[in-house]
Structure 1
Amino acid sequence: MIEVFKTNVQEATQCSILIEKLLEHYPDSSINFDLEDCDKILRIHAPHFSNTKIIDILNSHGYFCEALP
């Protein structure tokens, strides 16, 4: 399962912290950010996860996040 999210993350250091937090909840996943994209894409590839949980995790750290269609 692969999902793509639009975020407002700007810095690589922020990405590292958020990826670490997301991996705590989804350790068997592949997670990366594309900060070059205008939507600051977060891409998650995992056997299972909850879009709502992903959004909640980023929101709890002060970032905007929404699933892209």
Structure 2
Amino acid sequence: MIEVFKTNVQEEWQCKMIIEMLLEHFPNSSINFDLEDCDKILRVHASSICNTTIIELLNSHGYHCEVLL
């Protein structure tokens, strides 16, 4: 399963911190950002994904995150 999110993450160091945080909650997942995209894409590839948890985790650290439709 792959889920794609629109974020407001701007910097590479932010990506690294968020990926580490998400891997604690979703181990064995593949997580990456595309900061070149205008929507600052976050992709999560995992066997089981909880969109609400991902959005809440990013929001709790001051980032905007929403499912990209």
Q: For residues 18-51 of structure 1, what are the alpha-carbon distances to aligned partners after superposition, in whole Å with 9 as ceiling and x for unaligned?
A: 0000000001100000000000000000000100
Structure 2 unaligned residues grouped into runs of 5+:
none
Q: What TM-score do you get using the length of structure 1 for normalisation?
A: 0.98
Give the TM-score of the pair, scaled to structure 2: 0.98
The count of residues paired between Structure 1 and Structure 2 equals: 69
* Percentage of pairs with the same residue: 72
**C-alpha distance in 2 between matches for 1:7 and 1:68:** 9
Measured on the aligned residues, the alpha-carbon RMSD in Å equals 0.4
Asked if residue 34 in structure 1 is aligned to residue 43 in structure 2, the reply is: no
Q: Where do 5+ consecutive residues of structure 1 fail to align?
A: none
Q: Which runs of 4+ in 1 moved over 4 A?
A: none
**Which residue of the partner structure matches residue 8 of structure 2?**
8
Q: Distance in 2 between matches of 1:56 and 1:65?
A: 8
CA distance in structure 2 between the partners assigned to 1:17 and 1:31 by the alignment: 12
